[in-house]
Copies of this chain bind each other. A is one copy, B any other.
């Protein structure tokens, strides 16, 4: 069987899998993100040593934290570019893997990768315009518009949009080092922890933290609906494992749109419009596998 290697490269950890497809994962490894040499080195060793009897590696896909260069005509295509993460600026991520294995290497943002996996095997099958957001340590978003992955000038940075912030209700200044109270600064996992003085996982399900979190996420979703008119919004990431957020968001988004976008998916079936990933927490790493498959097809 043809084997595909997938790397979900996060700022905190890497997840690597060898798989024949979404339902046939042969091997898996997770390890913390340290230096590029060490971390990419571990990924390379993982792909070098497949389990006995496994097929041959045909392509590798990388779904990476950013910012990354996705412009195929650029001399730094496949690089992580100017990241504040120490040591990771100007790392030739895709090129390094390609030279090491002499195989096709697919490369995109972590969220565009997850969106591709959701399109192929998950909650976005058959759609042409949809978004995938991850709400966790950071907040990021990607997706497809008119059937094409969202690239553009660089790539979207949906975590950094600005929202109404009522300081009287929420005096927390936000913890984004660039923007203070952008979406990520108000609604990421670390922002919740800093605002309430304890990790989000320790806040009770009826803690007021969740209504506030749902409000900020709803403002962001409303802005993305108005900017892009997606056919579906898929919300993943650690914070969204607090599933009590979904009903709060389903209530708040139509309230904020106030009847302006008149479509049954918003007016009647909002729980089918704003959804968790069909692939659950595997969306990211299966996204990397989907990028590998695509790279083999297009080689």
Contacts and interface: CB of A to CB of B under 8 A. Distances in A.
A146 B150 contact: yes
A178 B259 contact: yes
Nearest to A141: B227
B227 A227 contact: yes
A258 interface: yes
A1 interface: no
A149 B147 CA distance: 11
Contacts of A75: none
Contacts of A259: 178
Contacts of A103: none
Contacts of A153: 129, 229-231, 261, 263, 265
Given A162-B222, A223-B161, A149 B152 contact: no
A229 B157 contact: yes
A160 interface: yes
> Which interface class (under 10, 10 to 19, 20 to 34, 35 or more) fits A?
35 or more
A179 interface: yes
Interface in A175-231: 178-179, 181, 219, 222-231
Nearest to A258: B178
A144 to B, nearest CB: 8
Nearest to A82: B262
A260 interface: yes
Contacts of A229: 150-157
Contacts of A279: none
A148 B150 contact: no
Given A148-B145, A262-B82, A222 B129 contact: no
A223 B162 contact: yes
Nearest to A227: B227
Contacts of A76: none
Contacts of A224: 227
A81 interface: yes
A163 interface: yes
Contact of A179 (B141, B155, B260, B263): B260
Contacts of A156: 226-229
B146 A262 contact: no
A164 B163 contact: yes
A264 to B, nearest CB: 10
Interface of A: 67, 81-82, 129, 141, 145-165, 178-179, 181, 219, 222-231, 256-263, 265
14 contacts: A82-B262, A145-B145, A145-B150, A146-B151, A147-B148, A148-B148, A153-B231, A153-B261, A156-B227, A162-B164, A163-B163, A179-B260, A227-B228, A228-B228
